[in-house]
Structures are given as structure tokens and as C-alpha cells.
Amino acid sequence: MRTLTPHPRWPHEALNVTELHEKGWRPTAFREFVLKVHQRCNLACDYCYVYELADQTWRDRPRVMAPAVWQAAANRIAEHARRHHLRRVTVILHGGEPLLAGPDRLLRLTADLRAAMPDGCRLSVGMQTNGVALDERTLTRLADDGITIGVSVDGSPADHDRHRTFANGTGSHAAVDRALRLLGSPPFQPSFAGLLSLVDPSTDPVPTFEALLRYQPPAVDLLLPHANWATPPDRRPGSATPHGDWLVAVFDRWYDAPRRETRIRLFEEVMSLLLGGSSRSEQVGLSPVAVAVVESDGAIEQVDSLKSAYPGACATGRNVRTDSFDAVLRHPAVAARQIGAEALCDGCRSCPVSAVCGAGHYAHRYRPGDGFRNPSVYCADLQVLIRHVHRRMTADLSRLAGR
């Protein structure tokens, strides 16, 4: 068993959840459950937060989720849905690479999940895959079962293949491209959930975005690479905010298009927050995070992007075999992600864009020693993006108002 780094003071020791309850705060029920159905991957991406960063706990877990574990997870999700009168929950089949579990196992798991759900609670099942093993037969079976599919891809073939390789160093773009053409074809379009793509400021932003558009994705998630104050993002000379500048260029290309070609969740969330709405994204805003992860051994964890911070950062000490999801809602690290501005450092609380930024992604606030009560390591980039979107929207709203 690997030695885990002790949790930092904030939030693990400093946040008193009992006191929060006494003051009237109540947790938000989990609505999305990520099941790590397979712990290994058929790719070896150089930026992978599962295999290449601080946390290596995947080595100690079963390769594949056993039926007893997924049945326990299904029962716990149903219990949570009943207790909180949830009318809808989402389960995402995840890994590693979930397709390595094989379609038979995935369909049995999904059937058991559906059978466990209480009346009146709708279950949506999705999968996040690297696409390499997504052939027509597999896709047909998953689509027939109503499972929607999101695929990770990083822009042009050359850009994608620079990072997303097989273990022998060969790029994976050709295989992913085959899968995406299939997924974008008429019979499978309803099953296409969207693309997930990493922001890489060394690439040309507009052609990179246009390479993604070629697959006609219904939605694109642009993710900042996981980094924190101990391992800051790669900032090449020339700009203090390369990630912010890259996002601004893609925003303008997307916003100025004569018709909406796809949804970009990060941009839509920033726009909604600027108009006083709420956010469902982990990347911006102050909305409570309502996602729980179940590892292949049944361990209930926080979202695994935290694995980029330190070994064991996601751990809650709970397991679906013995514990309810409600027990996890009382964990200080989970509460810290549900209390909005209360979890922010003084600098973020007094920041003029904090209601939109919300200190960015929780994992990007980590600093060894004092933990997660810091600004995002992407603070300057987020400010560049938010201020730009604000300028663009203000100009358009003024024009519409005839000013």
C-alpha cells in the first residue's frame, strides 16, 4: 500500500462542518456519480492526471469494477436519490478507459443501475472515453442502450498526437478520428455527448477549435491543464496569460460565428454568471459541486482532477459497501466545495470578478502547506477571459439597447 500525503489544514482541519450545520447550512445532494469501471488505459498521454501526476492510488485498486461493487454503488445511488427526492441523476462510466471493461460488462452494469433506481428518478448514463476502442459494433450496443458518449480529443492530428499517444509513442489521432466520424454519423448523433479538449497555448487557437468543429460536436469542454501553486502551468515567454489569451481567441471565433456551431460550456457558464445566473461547471462560479466518484474498489472519492494536487487528495475514507453518500456529504473537503464564497481566500473574496470566477477550478488553488484556500494558479488568465467576455457582452447589449 502506498503512503499518502497528509491532508492540508484547509479544509480538512480548519473547516468545522458541525458548526456550519449549527448555523443552518445544509449540503447539496450529489446528482452526478462517476464510476471508475476500469483503472487502466490503452493510451499513455503525457499530461494524464491519473497516471502521470502526484497520485498513484490506481496501482492499488482492482483493474476492473466487480459486479458486487457496482451493485453496491447502484444501491447507494438509489438510496441517495430516495433520501433527497431526486428526480434525475447522471452516472458517467469512466476510467482509465471505460471501454476496456468491455461492452457486455458495461451493459450489465447499466441494467443493474437502472433496476435499482427508485420510481420517479430518471437515470441518464454517459461515458467518457478516449475513443480508441470505439468500433461500430460497440457503439451500436451502447447507443441502443441509451448511453451517451463523450470523447477526449486535442485539436489537429499533430497537436493531438504530441500528447495523446499509445505506450509505444505512436499518436492515437487516427483511431480517435475513426470513432468520431462514426459518432458524428446520422444513426449515432443522438448518442454524441460532446468533446473534451485540453487548452494548449502552444497551439494556434482558432485552427485548433476548427479542427474540433469538423466533428460537429453538440458541446465542447475546454479544460485548463491541471496545475497548482507547487506545479504551475507551463508559461512560455511572450505572454503572462497564454491560457487566457488562447481562450479569448477561441471565444471570439465562437461568439462571432453567424450561427451557433456548438456549445462551449466554459464560455456559456461565464456568460450566464455575468448575467447573474448560476454555474454548473467546476471551472468557474460558486455553485456547490454535486459530483461523487466511485473507484473500482468501491471507495467514494472526490473528483479525480484533485489527484493532480497530492497523493490521496481525493480520499474521503468512505466506501459504497459500508457507507452512504450522505456520510460523504459531511466530509470537510466535500463541504468546502459546497459553501460558495465562504471557501474563498481573502484575496478572492474582495476580487471584483469573484462571483464569476469563484477562484476557478478547486484543484488549481492548491498550495502545499495551506491547502485549497488560495486564488487559482490561473488567476490572471481567468481575469483576462472574464473581462473580455464582459466587454463583448456589454458592447452587444448597449448596441441592442440603441446606445
Kindly list the residues in this chain that would bind ligand SF4 in the complex (CB under 6 A). 41, 43-45, 48, 50-51, 95-97, 130, 152, 164, 347-348, 351, 353-354, 357, 359-360, 375-376, 379, 382-383
Torsions phi, psi for 367 (to 5 deg): -135, 125
Q: How far is the CB of 25 from ligand SF4 (least distance, A)?
A: 21
Q: Which is nearer to ligand SF4, 312 or 375 (CB)?
A: 375
Q: How far is the CB of 376 from ligand SF4 (least distance, A)?
A: 4
The tally of CA atoms less than 13 A away on the side-chain side of residue 281 is 25
Q: How far is the CB of 54 from ligand SF4 (least distance, A)?
A: 14
DSSP 159-174: HHHHHSB-TTS-B-HH
Q: Which is nearer to ligand SF4, 96 or 155 (CB)?
A: 96
What's the N-to-C CA distance of the chain in angstroms?
66
Q: How far is the CB of 311 from ligand SF4 (least distance, A)?
A: 17
Torsions phi, psi for 319 (to 5 deg): -145, 140
Q: Which is nearer to ligand SF4, 121 or 379 (CB)?
A: 379
Q: Which is nearer to ligand SF4, 191 or 383 (CB)?
A: 383
Three-state secondary structure call for residue 36: strand
CA distances to 88, 110, 220 from 355, rounded to whole Å, are: 27, 38, 23
Q: How far is the CB of 151 from ligand SF4 (least distance, A)?
A: 10
Exposure string (b/e) for 337-354, b if CB count within 10 Å is 16 or more?
bbbeeebbbeebeebebb
Q: Which is nearer to ligand SF4, 17 or 45 (CB)?
A: 45
Q: How far is the CB of 19 from ligand SF4 (least distance, A)?
A: 24
CB 184 within 8 A of CB 215: yes
For residues 148 and 179, give the distance between their C-alpha atoms in angstroms, rounded to a whole number.
14
